[in-house]
Amino acid sequence: MRIALPKKMIRTVQRAVVEFGLLAKGDRILVGLSGGKDSTFLLYALAVLTPHLPFPVEIEAMTIDLGFKSQKEMDWSSLEELCATLKIPYQVQRVELAAAILHHPTQTPCACCAYFRRAIIHNFAKEHGFNKVAFAHHYDDAVETFLMSILYSGQVHTFVPRTYLERTGVTVIRPLVYLREKDIRGFIKKLGIEPVPSPCSLDGSTKRAEIKELIRELKKKNQHVFAHLAVAMREGRAMQFWPRELTKEEIREKSWQFWYGEAGVESEAGGIC
């Protein structure tokens, strides 16, 4: 296999690396490799990029198997072969947590799964001397997360390209944040790499899948919807929010002042309430 990337894609990854300071001299980077198209591309892109950096870095890859299927049903041989070709050390960590994830009393399965995956890889990185963990979230993921947070949690939030975790001392980096999902999918297909199917029984029926479909439908009426969402999640954009919601005690005090205060409150019509 000839290890190379189209110039446009490598420049897009380089832009994220430079703009957000994702790589530095002496980094030991642990790549979260699920076997899907995104994480496979991330590992491949780092294998292309890192030999040309002006400083040395080390890369290893890890797959977290949470036990959604039996060990006999899971075949990681294609990832082992890919890592061998790229000359990147690779290992699988299996933890039997599927039942706890699917039947968690308070968290959704997706949120619970993401939490366990992050916790396992972050702790492993800390214990084995990795200072960075690389995840394969791309531009579409960031925009979808931004919209999901507004619609499903009432927050204006998305993940950032670089996050320092104080508890573990590990920095999470996302070098693919400027790449679109369709471009990643097209390249992996052209390369002839077959992604490992997700073992999760809920794959394709998640809230993220709903948001992805919503954006797709909105773009049929306005092709700029994705671009506008992407711009809106940037710092420095014009924002105008309502004031924070008052507590019951604050409302009670303001109501008292409004109705019984000494001076009263002048109404819009010019009278006194």
Percentage of residues in the chain having pLDDT higher than 90? 70
User: Kind of pairing, strands 28-32 and 162-165?
Assistant: unpaired
Give the pLDDT of residue 201: 66
Q: Is the pLDDT of residue 162 over 50?
A: yes
d(CA 244, CA 166): 29
CA distances from 254 to 115, 141, 260 (A): 42, 43, 10
d(CA 40, CA 32): 9
Residue pLDDT, tens place only, 38-95: 999 999 999 999 999 999 999 999 999 888 888 888 889 999 999 999 999 999 998 8
> E strands, the chain, where?
28-32, 58-65, 90-94, 132-134, 162-165, 170-173
How is residue 236 written in tokens?
Answer: 């420095």
Residues 6+ positions from 260 with CB-CB distance below 8 Å: none
Contact of 144 with 213, CB cutoff 8 Å? no
**Tally of CB atoms within 10 A around 229:** 18
d(CA 149, CA 210): 13
Give the pLDDT of residue 217: 96
Contact of 104 with 66, CB cutoff 8 Å? no
Residue pLDDT, tens place only, 229-250: 999 999 988 888 999 999 999 9
What domains can you pick out in the chain, each with its CATH number? 7-232 (3.40.50.620)
How is residue 131 written in tokens?
Answer: 């200072």
CA distances from 166 to 23, 170, 171 (A): 18, 7, 9
How is residue 98 written in tokens?
Answer: 């599927």
Q: Is the pLDDT of residue 151 over 70?
A: yes
